[in-house]
Amino acid sequence: MQTTHIPVPPGGRRGLSLVEVMVAMTLLLVGLLAVVRQWPLGARMTFLGEFQTEASTIAEQTLESLKASPFPPSSGTRTIGRYTVQWTVSAGPVSTTRLVVIEVRWTWQGRQYAIRMQTIVGAEL
């Protein structure tokens, strides 16, 4: 019968010691905990970004509807879902222009947020 000889590495050790495995597991656990702690912040920022995008879209649509109206009101407020839209139309820096300010507000998780759009358009507004 033939025996197989497995060479032993220098120093006479094979594999990892229990201490090395425990240190590696501790480092892995610390890294995973750091990622898990940041997860709620990432989710919150994603939702907030979505709300800001919706508010910007509503502000743009409001501006377009004011531009399409032959005699737009000088100010107004309306509610669209969770958003409150407020606008004012006033004289611009030049006599043939109008200053339009649109502000979209909403509340999420007990905090208030707002997007403000301000632009100058031709007097035909």
Mean pLDDT estimate for the chain: 87
Of 20-24, 61-65, 68-72, the poorest mean pLDDT is in 68-72
Q: Are 85 and 102 in contact (CB under 8 A)?
A: yes
Give domain status of residue 1, yes or no. Answer: no
Structural domain that includes position 110: 18-122
Query: From CA 101, how far away is CA 104, in angstroms rounded?
Result: 10
Its pTM stands at 0.68
Please report, rounded to a whole number, the percentage of residues in the chain having pLDDT higher than 90.
50
Task: Read off the CATH number of the domain in which 67 is found.
Answer: 3.30.1300.30
Residue 40: inside a domain, yes or no? yes
CA dist 115 and 102 (Å) reads 8
